């Protein structure tokens, strides 16, 4: 018996979660009788109740669509329509606005190059063969050390460049994923709000334009 009660409670909890997932649908559906109920107490006849309720549904639908567009623009860092109007109004030029003219200043740089003439005078002392070989070996040793240092710098630069490329690739991958998630969120959220708005606009058009016909269909015999 206790197990059956536990299973029943778990099933009830799953039902609650299942219904909560469709909360937006219930919100859309319950709005229609709620509006009709409000105007049922405010207005005397059904024709005016349907007509004014239709107008309210149209306003709700247009507002929901506008909200969806606004949220989509905000997700991508864009200002809204009314924000653009406010910014445009603030940029209206004043009648007595002072105009500041900043003169352009330029500078001319003249570079002079001094040519130096270097003259090599032959050594007064003739070098022997052993001294020439020793000097040549010293020069070759210096060149070899310079070449090794250059190769080492090239390897370090290549390694650093490869690391920078890896970091840039990771950053680009993360940015692409973020943009993809942002596009999905904007598309899903905007489409959902626009669908809700279209649903309410549809009911608003029917109630506002065919209020007399609805009264005849529902209450006339």
Asked, for residue 18, whether it belongs to a domain, the answer is: no
Max alpha carbon distance in the chain (Å)? 135
Asked, for residue 51, whether it belongs to a domain, the answer is: yes
Task: With H, G, I as helix, E, B as strand and everything else as coil, classify residue 5.
Answer: helix
pLDDT of residue 154: 92
Asked, for residue 44, whether it belongs to a domain, the answer is: yes
Structure tokens belonging to residue 208: 């506002």
Asked, for residue 52, whether it belongs to a domain, the answer is: yes
Please tell me the total count of domains within the chain: 1
Element (H, E) at 72: helix 46-75
pLDDT of residue 186: 59
Q: What is the mean pLDDT of the chain?
A: 76
Asked, for residue 9, whether it belongs to a domain, the answer is: no
Asked, for residue 91, whether it belongs to a domain, the answer is: no
Q: pLDDT digit string (tens) for 118-161? A: 444 444 457 787 878 888 888 888 888 888 889 888 988 988 88
Asked, for residue 113, whether it belongs to a domain, the answer is: no
Asked, for residue 96, whether it belongs to a domain, the answer is: no
Which residue numbers in the chain have pLDDT < 50?
104-124
For residue 66, the enclosing domain spans 23-75+130-221
pLDDT of residue 184: 65
pTM of the predicted model as reported, rounded to 2 decimal places: 0.49
Q: What contacts 8, CB < 8 A, 6 or more positions away? A: none
CA 142 – CA 154 distance, rounded (Å):
18
């Amino acid at each position: 018996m206790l197990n059956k009660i536990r299973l029943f409670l778990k099933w009830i909890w799953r039902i609650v979660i299942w219904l909560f997932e469709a909360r937006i649908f219930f919100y859309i559906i319950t709005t229609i009788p709620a509006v009709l109920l409000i105007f049922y107490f405010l207005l005397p006849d059904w024709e005016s109740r349907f007509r004014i309720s239709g107008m309210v549904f149209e306003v709700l639908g247009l507002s929901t669509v506008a909200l969806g567009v606004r949220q989509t623009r905000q997700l991508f860092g864009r200002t809204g329509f009314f924000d653009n109007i406010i910014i445009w109004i603030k940029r209206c030029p004043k009648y007595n606005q002072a105009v500041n003219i900043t003169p352009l200043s330029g500078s001319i740089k003249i570079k002079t190059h001094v040519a130096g003439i270097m003259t090599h005078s032959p050594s007064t002392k003739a070098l022997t063969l052993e001294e020439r070989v020793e000097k040549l070996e010293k020069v070759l040793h210096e060149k070899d050390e310079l070449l090794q240092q250059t190769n080492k710098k090239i390897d370090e630069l290549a390694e650093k460049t490869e690391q920078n490329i890896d970091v840039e690739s990771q950053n680009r991958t993360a940015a692409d994923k973020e943009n993809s998630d942002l596009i999905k969120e904007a598309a899903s959220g905007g489409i959902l709000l626009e669908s809700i708005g279209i649903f309410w606009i549809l009911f608003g058009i029917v109630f506002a334009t065919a209020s007399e016909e609805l009264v005849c269909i529902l209450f006339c015999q």
